Amino acid sequence: MSELLQIGAQRPKAPEPDSLELRFSPTAVEELEALKTHYPDLKSCVLPTLWIAQREYGGHLSPEAIAEVAHRLSRSYAEVEGVATFYSMYNTAHKPGRHLIEVCTCLSCHMCGAYRIVDHLEEKLGIKLGETTPDGVFSIHEVECLDACDRAPVLQVGDQYVGPVTPETVDELLERLRSNPDSTVVQLADAVVKVHLRDGKA
Amino acid sequence: MVKLTINGIELEAPQGELIVETVKRLGLEIPVFCYHPRMKAVGMCRMCLVETGFKQPDGSVRMMPKPQAGCTLPASEGLVVVTDSEAIHRDRKGVLEFLLINHPLDCPICDRGGECPLQNNTMAYGPSTTRFIEMKRHLPKAFPLSQYVTLDLERCIQCGRCVRFTEEISGDSDLAFRFRGAEMQPSTFQLTDFESRFSGNVIEICPVGALTSAKYRFRARPWDLETSPGVCTECSNGCNVWFDHRAGKQVRINGRANDGVNEEWTCDKGKFGHDWYNSTSRLTKPLVRRGDQFVPASWSEAYEEILAAFADKGGKVAGLTGPRVSNEGLFLFKRLFSEAFGSDNVDHRWRSGPVPTGPVPRPLPIASLESKRHILVFGTHLAEDLPIVHLRVRKAWSQSGATVDVAYSAANEVERFAKASLRCRPGAEAALAKCLLGEAVWSGKATVSDAVRAELAGFNADSAEEKSGVSGATVRAAAARLGEGAVVLTSDRLLDAPEPPSAWKSLKALAEATGSEFVCYPTGTNAAGAELLGLVPDHGLSTWQILEGCKDGKIEALWLVEADPSSTHDAALETVPFLVYQGTLENEAMAYASVVLPMAAPAEQDGTWTNCEGRVQRFRQAIAPPGEAKPAWRVFAECLLRARPSTPFFNPGEVMEEIARVHPVFAPAQYSLLPEEGALVARESLVGEPAGGGG
């Protein structure tokens, strides 16, 4: 930042609309057009479009992804970035691994040993909460209540809940996930988009 | 109207009026941070908590168990409000304690210190000591968000005023809140450059020191500043400003409320564009040429040289003025030339094409744009040429539901909210205006004379694509939206386009034929004043004829007042035998001058300026002119007196009385009558119809 303070320093500019590299696939564009008809106002379409972007950009809402969403919905970049960074299920902070394991550490899970599970995951994968393994396969996040206290301690992977878990079942889960080449992060985003396309009906 | 009770005082208020405003009318105060009277209330900061209750049918009052935000509470029948109870004081103290948890309290090194709502409210209502012993949040300090705005995230109390300003007022939505909770920060996309044309306003509305001015940073403490009510003279909008100065130097510009003009906003050109006041290239002494160099001279010597060259030379001398001269200066300049020099060769217009003359309809007050049904912005980059008119047009769209169309040859801000953008090819403005008129005529919406009808042959929506690059459907829809309650708005920039008379005439005919209003705002600071004061040749030479005349020897002496034609007419300045350059700053034209006169800037003299809507506003002297610089009107008055004995003018007020005598439209602008918010003096015409030729 210090170099920006210097007088006459060039501050980075927001990308020009013409210079954006649009990466939505034809399917995604089709889905977006269908979604637009659900709302009276394009502003309302920001959330589902961010899910499409999360899927199209491999599970990560990079600044480029946010810019593309803003461009496609004729909103300002800042506004869409504000929305994306507000919600924790949009991965804006960093690119998650192929599989994102979300550990509920709210009251019930905590009482049932959620932090033992966290410790086990951290030891097993050699990373801390909020980090990604160097091979890019696993990320672990701590999340608030997943509304599945009956299955405490519970994990979320993609659109699936796993629980109650023990260190042993966690090991099995990791093995199973390691052999799964498809990203569960992308799969979750796709599932959410599908729900939106059905207008919220299951 | 509804009856309600505030602190035991019974009063009437319009239904739905927000309680903060009602309380303000009572002369009481509710402290606020996020609430701003010109933006939607959001109730984010909770500073304005009040106790509320309702009168019951039996006359008793039933109070609500919890306090409510006064900024989102509408006045309603039987409402009882208490703003001054022990509970409310406790609540305010609590809210401030929360707001101060993460606030760094670096007031001694904060630019806002001394004029900070957070500081003032904390002194008035807050806790005197803190109970917070934990670590405060740490975030970037002094981040340069743009060349004008510095962002200090630690100081932010997350009131959202800046975010709402870019969303609701300037319309660029360049700022938004990122993240949430305690980490929530106002920011541009990825902290990239904050490029809004109106970014300076967020500095003023920020209730803490989170957004500060990069230019004013650490230059003064507010209590060291003197402030004078002023008028911005950077463009023709005539925004009302506070002119802050210290030890005779301009320090900063803040917006001053005038609902008729700028409400309270300023554009960045005005807010940050006054640096030249303190420039080292300000002229401070009269200079006369002796051979190859200038030598300082007394005003008397300078006048003698000028009069020797100009007096009684008739049509052989000429004068050109720039846009920033006051009404008084312009008037005396014209009089000096006609009475003392016997010349009618004076002009104020700087256009490359033919120049306008003759009357057009009375200009529309800026504020009245809000009540229009539809506005067609034609041939002008509105946000660049007339920033404050742009804000009004946007307000008409956002608050009164007006529709807006824009016809311009490049991308522009009006397109963001326009119903249709008629992006024509550069230079095709005239063709587009004709196509619009043709479409209106052929569709039976408008009737025109047979002569005009004949000219329109072949111009219609279907030929628009080929002739101007705008699709036929767009032209058809845009033409259909004109009519009763619509305005066709342009600026004199339209006259920079090729074929200005044709574009102008077609546009005016389009407005008249469809029953719309037509308004053309001038863009030069005091161009409207110059137009009203007749600073155009009645039968003499116009700008370009004068400059051509200099080249072929018809003009022997030229007087430039803050005008610099050297970029286009270098040869003319070089050839003319005697050149007077009168101005505030050194510039290129000076190189050819025989006499250089230092001129006082607008804030350095008393005077009036006429803005684009024909509003005369007074700017009283705030600071002293540098060195021996004199206001333009005084120089002309002194020359006039030396040339021939007449009644002297001692102050600009007397000049204005004389103006009012000669030009009766200026009668309401006499200093004894002129109200603080200025007076609209426009007569039939501000910018006339372009006459052919002239070049």
Question: In a 10 Å sphere around its CB, with 0-12 CB exposed, 13-18 middle and 19+ buried, how is residue B16 labelled?
Answer: exposed
CA A125, A126, A127, A132: dihedral to nearest 10 degrees? -50
Structure tokens, B413 = 């801000």
Chain A contact for B588, CB < 8 A? no
Structure tokens, B410 = 């490049």
CA distance B389 to B387: 6
The H or E element spanning position A138 is strand A138-143
Asked if A67's CB is within 8 angstroms of B189's CB, the reply is yes
Strand, coil or helix: B376: strand
Q: Which residues of B touch A86 (CB under 8 A)?
A: 177, 179-180
**Average pLDDT over chain A, rounded to whole?**
92
Asked if A86's CB is within 8 angstroms of B192's CB, the reply is no
Chain B contact for A63, CB < 8 A? yes
Structure tokens, B260 = 């008729």
Asked if B172's CB is within 8 angstroms of A76's CB, the reply is yes
CA distance B235 to B65: 54
C-alpha distances out from residue B100 to A27, A104, B67, B82, Å: 50, 32, 21, 25
Chain B contact for A202, CB < 8 A? no
Q: Which residues of A touch B179 (CB under 8 A)?
A: 85-86
Asked if B144's CB is within 8 angstroms of A4's CB, the reply is yes
| Residue B351 confidence (pLDDT) | 59
Strand, coil or helix: B664: helix
B287-354+527-689: what CATH class? Answer: alpha beta
Q: Are B21 and B37 in contact (CB under 8 A)?
A: yes
> Which of B140, B144, B189 lies nearest to residue A78, judging by beta carbons?
B189
> Which of B143, B173, B191 lies nearest to residue A76, judging by beta carbons?
B173
CA distance B339 to B328: 16
CA distance B597 to B302: 8
For chain A, give percent helix, strand, coil, nearest 5: 50, 10, 40
Q: What is the CATH number of domain B100-213?
A: 3.30.70.20
Chain B contact for A86, CB < 8 A? yes
Chain B contact for A93, CB < 8 A? no
Each of the 202 residues of chain A gets a pLDDT tens digit; together they read 344 444 455 788 999 988 999 999 999 999 999 999 999 999 999 999 999 999 999 999 999 999 999 999 999 999 999 999 999 999 999 899 999 999 999 999 999 999 999 999 999 999 999 999 999 999 999 999 999 999 999 999 999 999 899 999 999 999 999 999 999 999 999 999 999 999 766 6
Structure tokens, B610 = 């006429």
Chain B contact for A90, CB < 8 A? no
Question: In a 10 Å sphere around its CB, with 0-12 CB exposed, 13-18 middle and 19+ buried, how is residue B342 labelled?
Answer: middle
Q: Which residues of B touch A78 (CB under 8 A)?
A: 173-176, 187-189
Question: In a 10 Å sphere around its CB, with 0-12 CB exposed, 13-18 middle and 19+ buried, how is residue B682 labelled?
Answer: buried
pTM: 0.92
Chain A contact for B415, CB < 8 A? no
| Residue B607 confidence (pLDDT) | 96
Chain A contact for B138, CB < 8 A? no
Structure tokens, A159 = 């659109």
> Which of A5, A75, A82 lies nearest to residue B178, judging by beta carbons?
A82
Domain extents for chain B?
2-98, 100-213, 287-354+527-689, 358-521
> Which of B140, B174, B180 lies nearest to residue A78, judging by beta carbons?
B174
> Which of B142, B173, B191 lies nearest to residue A79, judging by beta carbons?
B173
CA distance B318 to B555: 7
| Residue B362 confidence (pLDDT) | 64
Distance from CA of A40 to the nearest CA of B (A): 16
Asked if B142's CB is within 8 angstroms of A11's CB, the reply is no
Q: Other C-beta atoms within 10 Å of B26: how many?
A: 13
The H or E element spanning position B294 is strand B293-296
CA distance B401 to B267: 24
The crossing angle, in degrees rounded to 10, of helices B632-643 and B299-310 is 60
C-alpha distances out from residue B201 to B170, B212, B256, B272, B409, Å: 9, 10, 11, 11, 29
Chain A contact for B183, CB < 8 A? no
| Residue B443 confidence (pLDDT) | 87
CA distance A56 to B7: 59
Asked if A66's CB is within 8 angstroms of B189's CB, the reply is yes
Chain A contact for B146, CB < 8 A? yes
Structure tokens, A167 = 């260190």
Chain A contact for B218, CB < 8 A? no
> Which of A11, A67, A78 lies nearest to residue B173, judging by beta carbons?
A78
Asked if A9's CB is within 8 angstroms of B195's CB, the reply is no
Q: What is the DSSP string of B218-274?
A: TT--GGG-EEEEEE--SSTT--EEEEEEETTEEEEEEE--BTTTTBT---HHHHH--
Chain A contact for B179, CB < 8 A? yes
Which chain A residue has its CA at the smallest distance from B149's CA?
A: A5
Instruction: Count how many Cα atoms sit within 13 Å of the Cα of residue B282 in the half-sphere of its side chain.
Output: 19
CA distance B44 to B182: 13
Domain extents for chain A?
6-93+187-201, 99-182
Low-confidence spans in chain B with pLDDT less than 50: 352-355, 357-360, 685-687, 691-695
CA distance B682 to B262: 18
CA distance B643 to B395: 52
Whether domain A99-182 has CATH 1.10.760.10: no
> How would you classify residue B103: left for phi > 0, otherwise alpha for psi between -120 and 50, otherwise beta?
beta
A–B: how many Cβ contacts below 8 A? 61
Fold of B2-98: Ubiquitin-like (UB roll) (3.10.20)
Structure tokens, B392 = 């009004």
B358-521: what CATH class? Answer: alpha beta
Asked if A13's CB is within 8 angstroms of B190's CB, the reply is no
In sequence order, which residues have a C-beta less than 8 Å from that of residue B108 and are 6 or more positions away? none
Instruction: Count how many Cα atoms sit within 13 Å of the Cα of residue B67 in the half-sphere of its side chain.
Output: 23
Asked if A66's CB is within 8 angstroms of B191's CB, the reply is no
- Rounded to 5 degrees, φ, ψ at B449 are -65, 160
| Residue B683 confidence (pLDDT) | 56
Would you say the C-alpha torsion B53, B58, B60, B65 has a positive or negative sign? negative
Q: Are B141 and B386 in contact (CB under 8 A)?
A: no
Q: Are B507 and B305 in contact (CB under 8 A)?
A: no
E-state strands within B549-653: 557-561, 578-583, 595-598, 607-610, 615-619
